[in-house]
Amino acid sequence: MGQQMNSEELVGVLRDTIVALVRREGVDLSARQLGVFLTCYLNDDAHTVRGLASELNVSKPAITRALDRLSDLDLARRKVDPSDRRSVLVQRTTKGSAFLREIRSVMTEVTSDGRSRPEQTSRRSVAAN
- Tell me how many domains the chain contains: 1
Looking at residue 75, its pLDDT comes to 97
In a domain, 2, yes or no: no
For the chain, what is the radius of gyration of the CA atoms? 17
Is 74 part of a structural domain of the chain? yes
Is 26 contained in some domain?
Answer: yes
- Could you report the per-residue pLDDT of 65-74, keeping only the tens digit for each? 999 999 999 9
Burial level of 98, CB count in 10 A (0-12/13-18/19+)? exposed
What domain range is 32 assigned to? 7-122
- Per cent of the chain over pLDDT 90 is 58
C-alpha 122 chain-centroid distance: 25
Asked whether residue 56 is assigned to any structural domain, the reply reads: yes
pLDDT of residue 90: 95
Is 129 domain-assigned?
A: no
- Give a yes or no: residue 1 inside a domain: no
Confidence category of residue 120, pLDDT binned at 50, 70, 90:
very low
Say what the pLDDT of residue 81 is: 85
3-state secondary structure string across 28-45: CCCHHHHHHHHHHHHCCC
In a domain, 127, yes or no: no
State residue 47's pLDDT score: 94
Each residue of 54-88: pLDDT tens digit?
999 999 999 999 999 999 999 999 999 888 888 88
pLDDT over threshold 70, residue 94: yes
Q: What is the DSSP letter of 76?
A: E
Q: How many CB atoms lie within 10 A of CB 22?
A: 9
Contact between 19 and 57 under an 8 Å Cβ cutoff? The reply is: no
Q: CA nearest 88: which of 59, 67, 70?
A: 67
Q: Give the CATH number of the domain where residue 85 resides.
A: 1.10.10.10
Q: Assign 2 a pLDDT band (cuts: 50, 70, 90).
A: low
Q: How many residues does the chain have?
A: 129
Note whether residue 34 is domain-resident.
Answer: yes
